[in-house]
Structure 1
Amino acid sequence: MDWPSAIKGFKTYLKLERSLAANSIEAYSRDLQRLYQYADTLETKLSPTKFTLTDLRNFINWANELGMIPSTQSRVLSGIKAFYKYLLMEDMITSDPSELLETPKIQRKLPDTLSIHDIDKMIAAIDLSKPEGTRNKAILEILYGCGLRVSELTELRLSNLFLESDVEFIKVTGKGSKERLVPIGGEAIKALKIWIEQVRIHIDIKKGEEDLVFLNRRGSRLSRVYIFMLIKQLAELTGLRKTISPHTFRHSFATHLVEGGADLRAVQEMLGHESITTTEIYTHLDREYLKSTIIEFHPRN
């Protein structure tokens, strides 16, 4: 089996058998392309089915020498392991060479966060005299109030909003097309209703986009790039020195919940994290808060 055929078959398997989203399939495909690139550098060209554990370890060393950071290596190896499980399941190989492959240890970096004051300043900087200002305020309120990923925000549907006073949640489609329910608070609901009921109704909406919550002036969906540019512009307007992105609002959402005493499992559920270890990174603020409290109030300090 040659590499192009193997990659094509793997992508079909991910789409039909595992029902992965297009973005996830492309990410897996890029991971596999890196292994293909490595195989192409060897004197003896290795086909996908000829790789051994030693060959895969040599690939990791090669990637490391090229400057690939551990977090990227870890993600690439995840794609490669999935690929060899696919080959084993399809009886193209008799044993999985990636089974004993060690994933590089990653030093978990604490995410940048914004204070509530910073977030209030950015929202206050939005020009509400313009129609898009009403929409942009709703965007920031949703990013911070619900902790959405930027792709989840741009794909948010009217049919997935449940804003009645006895319910108040939104249904979000996250990574791997997994759905989750996220509670939505008063400020976000208020901003969302003003955008939908007072501004959005006057837009001539493009066919096929009728159910999307956030639209541009031409009635088309907003791009991820636009959301990034909006955040950058508001950060500059308010004089924020931090390098922030839409994801910073998600980090702030989680951090402020944990700092306020929210149950970690509940935060995991709202963020759509598959593993609790991903959510545990937000407990750093709990520890910092406890430390500062001890220093300030303990009689021996």
Structure 2
Amino acid sequence: MTLALVGEDKTARERLREFLRIYASVNTRLAYATDLGIPLDWVPGYTPPDPSRRRGRRRAEPTGLEWLNWCGANGFRFADVRVEHVERWLDELAGAGYSDATRGRMLSAVSAFYAKYLLREGLATQNPVSLVDRRAQHLNKPAGTPSTTKRWSFQACRALLMAAYLLAEHRRDGVRDRAMIEILVGTGVRADELVGVNLDDYRRAAAHDIGILRVHGKGGKDREVALAPPVADALEDYLRVRAEPAVPALPGQVNAAVRPIFVTSTGRRVHASHLQAVLTRLCRTFTETPRQQWLRDLMATPEAEFIATHLGPLRDTIHPHSARHSYATHAVERGVPPRQVQRDLGHAALATTEGYLHDEDNVRNSAAHELAPALHRGWLATSS
């Protein structure tokens, strides 16, 4: 990549790697690299997956409309970019079929690149993104706008925990997967935060006490989350059977000084995509015709019927991030102050937490239930 936008003292590769090192998480670095158009082999700490073992969604190939590629094609230096150039870029993204959500995310990546690196390094004098009219670009979402992420009902959360518990002894990694589901549902942590924890991030003073897990959140911000006794017990059940991998990880896969809590049989840290696979498998196991005899026997129990009833509707839409929204909503519905939920989730602003809440009580208790019938009473036959 040749970019006429960096100082003469460093190459483009060196500059962009410096920017990416601002973020502690390799997954965060990959996200910014993808949105900005930075080659993935420039990302510090990134090891390309083995193509023969790669599962799940593959990263999209560059289209040439990523910010760095677009600037290079148009001969722009970062110091010369103005707001009209950014808006022209956004228009081209829209014309190429990029959704508003994707354009908004890519614009935020450009803004972070300017604010956190270029301005501090003296490679630009202003952040042109700050002058973009997001409303005109259809990128403006008011603070506190409810998220479109699906929330799981309280009973669906119970069904997930029951399903993971019932299958724990029948799957090769069932005990590990159950611990991950318990933490995901019981704390509201992000999937990346969950798989990013290490052995020295967990502590528990005594049996039957709460556990404390330090998670590494966005922007390099750590926080401690409480593991209620049932959740901590599930984690310790896994730690008792967790063994150091018989096959050492390949160089670069896991730092020798870091010991992840959740590892694969080959020594690699479990990837966040594994949580999606586990959730999908739990739903399908209890909603499809079983083949093994032990599973047929299990499906005949009342517990399995309960699980199938509540996980069946989630089978095609279940996603790990829904656990985060469900945690926030169910906590507030049970009287937990929103400020505490904000701290639990690691949100910088309360408005972000409010956007997670799917408060059905507000709908059920709405004044509309009193006003509308009163307006129609006496002249509309169906009104009471």
Pairwise TM-score range, normalised by the shorter structure: 0.7 to 0.9
Aligned position for 2:292: none
Query: Using the alignment, how far apart are the partners of 1:235 and 1:19 within structure 2?
Result: 35
Aligned position for 1:236: 284
Of stretches 209-218 and 166-175 in structure 1, the one that deviates more from structure 2 is: 209-218
Aligned position for 1:265: 339
Of stretches 96-105 and 174-183 in structure 1, the one that deviates more from structure 2 is: 96-105
Aligned position for 1:35: 67
**Secondary structure of the residue that 1:170 maps to in structure 2?**
strand
Q: Is contact 1:6–1:48 with CA below 8 Å preserved after alignment?
A: no
The TM-score, its normalising length taken from structure 1, stands at: 0.84
Q: Is contact 1:135–1:214 with CA below 8 Å preserved after alignment?
A: yes
Alignment match of 1:143 (pick from 184, 192, 197): 184
Query: Using the alignment, how far apart are the partners of 1:195 and 1:25 within structure 2?
Result: 30
Q: How does 1:1-301 map to 2 (within 5 A)?
A: 2=4, 5-6=11-12, 8-15=14-21, 18-33=22-37, 34-39=66-71, 42=74, 45-85=75-115, 86-103=117-134, 104-106=139-141, 108-126=146-164, 127-130=167-170, 131-165=172-206, 168-197=211-240, 199-201=241-243, 204=246, 206=248, 208=256, 211-239=259-287, 240-242=312-314, 243-285=317-359, 288-293=360-365
**Secondary structure of the residue that 1:117 maps to in structure 2?**
helix
Give the residue type in structure 2 aligned to 1:269.
Answer: R
Q: Structure 1 stretches of 5 or more lacking a match?
A: none
Q: How has the CA–CA distance of structure 1 residues 50 and 225 changed in structure 2, closer, same or farther, with 3 Å as cutoff? A: same
Give the residue type in structure 1 aligned to 2:230.
Answer: E
Which digits, 9 at most, give the CA deviation of each residue in 1:208-239, with x for residues without a partner? 48732223344443222322211111112233
Give the residue type in structure 2 aligned to 1:120.
Answer: R
Give the residue type in structure 1 aligned to 2:281.
Answer: Q
**Secondary structure of the residue that 1:129 maps to in structure 2?**
coil
Percentage of pairs with the same residue: 27
**Secondary structure of the residue that 1:92 maps to in structure 2?**
coil
Q: Is contact 1:145–1:188 with CA below 8 Å preserved after alignment?
A: yes
Give the residue type in structure 2 aligned to 1:121.
Answer: A
Q: Is contact 1:32–1:79 with CA below 8 Å preserved after alignment?
A: yes
Give the residue type in structure 1 aligned to 2:36.
Answer: L
Query: Using the alignment, how far apart are the partners of 1:46 and 1:276 within structure 2?
Result: 38
Q: How has the CA–CA distance of structure 1 residues 244 and 35 changed in structure 2, closer, same or farther, with 3 Å as cutoff? A: same
Q: CA deviation at 1:19?
A: 5.0
Q: Is contact 2:25–2:220 with CA below 8 Å preserved after alignment?
A: yes
Q: Is contact 2:175–2:238 with CA below 8 Å preserved after alignment?
A: yes
Q: Is contact 1:135–1:195 with CA below 8 Å preserved after alignment?
A: yes
Q: CA deviation at 1:141?
A: 0.7
Q: How has the CA–CA distance of structure 1 residues 295 and 151 changed in structure 2, closer, same or farther, with 3 Å as cutoff? A: same
Query: Using the alignment, how far apart are the partners of 2:344 and 2:197 within structure 1?
Result: 15
Query: Using the alignment, how far apart are the partners of 1:180 and 1:282 within structure 2?
Result: 19
Query: Using the alignment, how far apart are the partners of 1:88 and 1:241 within structure 2?
Result: 49
Q: CA deviation at 1:68?
A: 2.0
Query: Using the alignment, how far apart are the partners of 1:8 and 1:190 within structure 2?
Result: 46
Give the residue type in structure 2 aligned to 1:228.
Answer: Q
Query: Using the alignment, how far apart are the partners of 2:271 and 2:110 within structure 1?
Result: 30
Q: How has the CA–CA distance of structure 1 residues 294 and 156 changed in structure 2, closer, same or farther, with 3 Å as cutoff? A: same
Query: Using the alignment, how far apart are the partners of 2:333 and 2:186 within structure 1?
Result: 15
How many residue pairs align between the two structures?
294
Query: Using the alignment, how far apart are the partners of 1:210 and 1:29 within structure 2?
Result: 24
Q: Structure 2 stretches of 5 or more lacking a match?
A: 38-65, 250-255, 288-311, 375-383
Q: How has the CA–CA distance of structure 1 residues 295 and 46 changed in structure 2, closer, same or farther, with 3 Å as cutoff? A: closer
**Secondary structure of the residue that 1:241 maps to in structure 2?**
helix
Q: CA deviation at 1:290?
A: 3.2
RMSD between aligned residues: 3.0
